Amino acid sequence: MELTFVSDELDAYSRAVTTVVERLSPSVASLRLRRGSGSGVVITSDGFLLTSAHVVGRARGGHASFTDGRELGFEVVGADPLSDLAVLRADGRELVPAELGDAEALRVGQLVVAIGNPYGFAGSVTAGVVSHLGRSLPTRAGSAMRIVDNVIQTDAALNPGNSGGALADGRGRVVGINTAVAGVGLGLAVPINTATRRIVAALMTEGRFRRAYLGIAGGPRPLPPKLARTLGRHAGVEVVEVVEGSPAAQGGLRAEDLIVTVDDQPIDGVNDLHRLMVGDVIGQPIRLGVVRNGELRQLELVPIELDV
């Protein structure tokens, strides 16, 4: 029987992975903190690193080790548990920054490479594909909860210690920060996109990311058929509870109201509402389109800053 070898195909795959590793490994650090470890990604040559908020926890600093043998102290510049992102500043210069990509350009089945520090084994590499796009990841900070949107699912093997490390595309661009192991062959990464770049920039300059607060608990609810036909969509956010003294209460929002727009932007679910509750609207009047007793009305609210 004649054997057929597919070395060319294997070599092509290997070349793709090794090229990513050679390009990106100098930019991935092994992090050691007082109560744990993880990974981080250099994003500027003068010492800024990106990692997961749950890696740093309440720590103020730690040590970062690099593939060139350097070991540098770092301080935590800022962390945002509701996106599970944190920014560090290492005490060093002439670091090798990774190129940040855009997760919005990813496609299911695309090659991705994870580099991190699983179980303390620095510089470990795994490869796989994008298994799914658009997953949601619940996060919490105290009593506040948010959903991280468009999370990347991959079958590249991730283990404890990979958190905060790089998920890169086939050209070595970081498209995600590895954040969770949801099961065997099921890893999740916070995407690098317009929304998370804004968070990272705020953490670098201000040490925090400001979010707006209305003071409601809500959930999805179908629109009445007539209203659904009028608005051209099928769902909104039902107000389940209004916090006493909150902007929602002061603006006249009530339990059982159905929020369908914010400043004329459609609201189909809680995630849509969360996406709009950013620092820009803190202290600024916003208009909520609300269905009450089958009638559409407008309410004006002034969000305050969410305290986390």
SS3 at position 232? coil
Report angle CA 130, 136, 142 to the nearest 5 degrees: 135
Among the listed residues 295, 299, 294, the one whose alpha carbon sits nearest the alpha carbon of residue 261: 299
Alpha-carbon dihedral sign for residues 287, 289, 293, 295: positive
Active-site residue (options: 25, 27, 39, 54): 54
8 catalytic per annotation:
no
Active site residue 84: yes
Q: Is residue 202 within 8 Å of 208, Cβ to Cβ?
A: yes
Q: Which of 27, 80, 83, 84 is catalytic?
A: 84
Catalytic site residue from 25, 124, 131, 163: 163
Q: What is the DSSP string of 267-293?
A: --SHHHHHHH-BGGGTTS-EEEEEEET
Instruction: Tell me if 64 sits within 8 A of 90, measured CB to CB.
Output: yes
Write out the catalytic residue numbers: 54, 84, 163
